[in-house]
Structure 1
Amino acid sequence: MRLRHKPWAKDKLQEYSNYVIQDPEAFRGNWGAAFEKSQPLHIEIGTGKGQFITGMAKANPDINYIGIELQESVIVSALDRLIDSDLPNCKLMNVNGAELAKYFKSGDIHRVYLNFSDPWPKTRHEKRRLTFKSFLEVYEAILVKNGEIHFKTDNQGLFEYSLVSFSHYGMLLKYVSLDLHNSEYEGNIMTEYEEKFSSRGSRIYRCEVQFIAE
């Protein structure tokens, strides 16, 4: 889907510095200072229009959340949602998810969410998939000991690939659902894509995986 360019997006992201973290490197190793309360920190990589991350922040006030999105023309929609919600435990970052180690130190993050990531179906694009081993190395480097990744997608091929990738990396598969919306799982917060795909009858896949500290 082609994104509509929003030339004003950059200025708006800078204007609302109370919601959009402008200098994330300054908080590396001290992310509690970016929020009203120092609490466990969860991040969503590829937060899109922000429905999931704001929903999670509202449902879990004892956890801090950051939605990370590279596309300025997308993250401004998440900003609008956050402005309306005015959640003290939710922030946004307009950065590249491949460069997380620049902004977070080991133990800064308690959980990573990957929701409906680009499947990059061609073999030559494997290294771009957010569950490729090089990305897993980045997540492990910033997570707490035995930290977790929670992953959702409608793409069966990407889900199968990711399960293999997690297993080869030596991670523990704690939860796997091949049909989330017809499972007994409670507390699911949907993304915009999830609502759209599930309304069309698409099956939603979900898993929770954990790094195993040596």
Structure 2
Amino acid sequence: MYDFIIKPVSGRYNNTKEIGGVSFVTNTKIESYKSVSNEAEVIATPLSIVTDIRVGDRVTVHHNVFRRFYDIRGKEKNSRSHIKDDLYACSPEQIYLYGDNKSHLDYCFVQPVVNDDDWSSQKEKPLTGILRYGNKTLEEHDVYPGMVVGFTPESEFEFVVGGELLYCMKSKNIALTYGDEGSETKYNPSWTNSG
């Protein structure tokens, strides 16, 4: 009634890398959120809501949907989203992108930029990035993809989408705009290409 039914696109975990035709496992810990796959295919949509997401669409979901964990006794368990086999229930709030990278609900994605401060040891410019995927709320305030934006501290959580590091946040976390993309260099660390 209220949840999407989804399945992972290429397994629950994204923890292998191919080098020279040999596949290597890059992480064996089930707890690490960076290794959990967040790409899914929609199998069924909720009956209780109207949505632009269709059966067969690819979606980017919260890492806890597919994640496994150890209970208090050390026994490995599925997330509470697991239904059976490779089917999972996913609430609308756990979907961040759908289709051809359209933001879902009030989410948006910002790509970090290289820090141009020669005196700083941080590689990326703090709380600044290029809006990559916006939404209707931001457009109503004349904020569009390609604009350099500032965002509030600790509002972002990282995703790798199409081999690029992006920060997902809500529209309300975009605090200001610096105008259109200019001399900024996108920051994309090498570990994002681990798949």
> Which TM bucket (shorter chain)?
under 0.3
Larger Rg: 2
Higher relative helix content:
1
User: Larger relative contact order (C-alpha < 8 A, sep ≥ 6)?
Assistant: 1
TM-score w.r.t. the length of structure 2 is 0.24
